[in-house]
Structure 1
């Protein structure tokens, strides 16, 4: 996964055999945990926190804004492969929400204008 950025579904039987697990067990882990992917992510991943603290200060509006601006839904990648949009349920930045992570960088108190700026930089 580290080299490819995802777990290819064709690798699941191989992983199951190597780990002495059933294919269903491996598939369950890969599909349950959002840190595992079954397809390659975009060059940049934008994660918007949807936990209670961020929801209470406007995260839902940021999600809709990002979906409209990028033209993709949650869990999807833009057609040019530049951005993958995801929701997460806590970035550990609750005191200064709403929080958005772009790549490895975390931003707090993100409003509509700041989100537009962040999305423009990623495209």
Structure 2
């Protein structure tokens, strides 16, 4: 994921990704993943371009993007923190961890801190059930995360 400098740069990247995926069967999901992987989010301004290329309505593209919690519609912070909300993690205290994170960061899910350091997201399984509760910061998964561990992750991300 790289920062985009201009709307023209964004349009060029989107155009290239759409061209690469538009002829695939069932292209929408792979295309949305490619856009988010490359740009960091799926801009709402891209829905029309995506829809036209895939013969879908803007509403259909919007419906898929908003249905799946994985997709972001706004640029994320420098770091993305995901807190697992699956049953195993909930049984081991992730709801309290989630409340602690929201209070410390002063954001809700799908929001970014005022300093643009951290975007908080829910995730519904990190595959780390034996070490619940689990948190992922960027691409690194942490297990048996306590409030103190979470505070340390937040401090490191803000440093």
For the aligned pair, the TM-score class normalised by the smaller chain equals over 0.9
Structure 1: gaps of 5 or more residues: none
Which residue is 1:48 aligned to?
83
Distance in 1 separating the partners of 2:153 and 2:41: 24
CA-to-aligned-CA distance 1:18-48 (integer Å, 9 cap, x gap): 0111211111111111222111011100000
Using the size of structure 2 for normalisation, the TM-score is 0.74
Which ranges in structure 2 are unaligned for 5 or more consecutive residues?
A: 1-34
Structure 2: distance between partners of 1:103 and 1:115:
14
CA distance in 2, matches of 1:84, 1:7: 15
Q: How does 1:77-116 map to 2 (within 5 A)?
A: 77-116=112-151
Q: Which runs of 4+ in 1 moved over 3 A?
A: none
Q: Distance in 1 between the 2:102 and 2:38 partners?
A: 28
Instruction: Report the RMSD for the aligned CA atoms in angstroms.
Output: 1.0
Name the structure where helix makes up a greater proportion of residues. Answer: 2
Deviates more, 1:89-98 or 1:31-40: 31-40
Alpha-carbon distance in structure 2 between the residues aligned to 1:64 and 1:106: 19
- 1:63 pairs, out of 75, 84, 98, with 98
**What is the TM-score with the length of structure 1 in the denominator?**
0.95
Offset at residue 119 of structure 1 (A) = 1.1
| Whole-angstrom distance in 1 between the partners of 2:89 and 2:71 | 24
| Distance in 1 separating the partners of 2:110 and 2:142 | 20
Q: Offset at 1:3? A: 3.5
Bigger Cα Rg: 2
Alpha-carbon distance in structure 2 between the residues aligned to 1:62 and 1:17: 42
Q: Higher relative CO (CA 8 A, sep ≥ 6), structure 1 or 2?
A: 1
Count, aligned residues = 123
Tell me, yes or no, if the aligned pair for 2:72 and 2:110 is still in contact at 8 Å: no
Which of 21, 26, 35 is matched with 2:56 structurally?
A: 21
